[in-house]
Amino acid sequence: MSSVSTTHVSKGGLEGVVATTSSICYIDGDQGVLAYRGIDIHELADNSNFEETCYLLWFGRLPKRDELKELHDRLAEERKLDASILNLMRMAPKHALPMDVLRTAVSALSFYDPEEKNNDREANVHKAIRLTSQIAMIVANGWEVGVITDPKAGDPSLKDKLGVFPIPSHTAGKTAPVFLGGSDLGISAKSKMQGLAQEWVKLLAGVKFQTQMATVGQVIPNNTTLLDLNANNPLLGTFAAAAKNSRFVPNSPNWANVESANVLQDMLVSIFTGKQTIPAATSAASSQISTILNAKS
């Protein structure tokens, strides 16, 4: 009697295991395909905006004009946070990572959700709309006029009293240079689709989407030729003008540690509150920054 033996080599983790099937998203890593509800993301990027894509994911089709307006209005209506969420974020320690604070705040939102215990389809759509708006407010909390003047969490009486100004320079008629800030876009060295990732970065950094981010998202674009898009905005226009005289932060991996330590923020607070003179505060901050930048990563 002969015997037959087989050797089965197990793959690590969940490689090759199908967890579920979905009509929402289709991914083919080998072919570089990502599609939402059967529509390639390249087509969505060229022809749809954020709200339209949200509607597509939630309802399975692109919205009609009146449906898009209704969604836009509902998202705007839900852009508010309970004061307790704001307090929770303020209590986070300085060393806490932004994503950790965001995760904790999003979890806490469930305490204030009027449909927390309801998990039917309609309630889940309501939650999706609320979360989409509230997460944006968490990320932008403290910097947006809408948060400051919110009737519940802020002070509406400040609406016409808010103003901004560039930090003046020691040279008359000039403004002090400012640091360029924002998001760093990187592509993993081990990515199998680096070409596709580069295409996405180019799209986001291109004139079309930077224009949308400036006019719709109310942020500073990445291109000096677009800075005048918000020139007539009394608040944003000031920031855009200041960005024309800007500098990049030091090209060091340790700069993130400088930001997480709030060195510059603490320096300004000490100056504005009169705790330190300008020379003393700036000298102390410079020394602290140098120490952090020169530390071993």
Measured from the Cβ of residue 221, the count of other Cβ atoms closer than 10 Å reads 23
User: What percent of the chain has pLDDT above 70?
Assistant: 91
Kindly state the DSSP code that residue 136 receives in the 8-state scheme: H
Does the pLDDT of residue 24 top 80, yes or no? Answer: yes
- pLDDT at position 294, please? 92
Q: How far is CA 150 from the centre of its chain?
A: 20
User: 290 in helix, strand or coil?
Assistant: helix
Q: Would the pLDDT of 77 be above 70?
A: yes
Lowest mean pLDDT among 11-25, 85-99, 142-156, 211-225: 142-156
pLDDT of residue 54: 93
Q: Are strands 39-40 and 33-36 parallel, antiparallel or unpaired?
A: antiparallel
The pLDDT, as a whole number, for residue 240 is 86
pLDDT over 80 (residue 182): no
Examine the pLDDT at 176 and tell me if it is beyond 80.
yes
Burial class (CB in 10 A: 0-12, 13-18, 19+), 62: middle
Angstrom distance (rounded) from CA 248 to CA 41: 32
Mean pLDDT value across residues 143-166: 76
DSSP state of 133: H
11 confidence band (pLDDT: 50, 70, 90): low
- Alpha-carbon dihedral sign for residues 124, 128, 133, 135: positive
Least confident of 39-48, 81-90, 120-129, 279-288: 81-90
CA 89 to chain centre: 16
**pLDDT score of 290 more than 60:** yes
Is the CB of residue 86 less than 8 Å from the CB of residue 141?
yes
- Whether the pLDDT of residue 110 is over 80: the answer is yes
Backbone angles phi, psi at 101, to 5 degrees: -65, -40
Question: So what's the pLDDT on residue 6?
Answer: 44
Strands 178-179 and 25-28 come out as unpaired
pLDDT of amino acid 85: 86
Query: For the chain, what's the residue count?
Result: 297
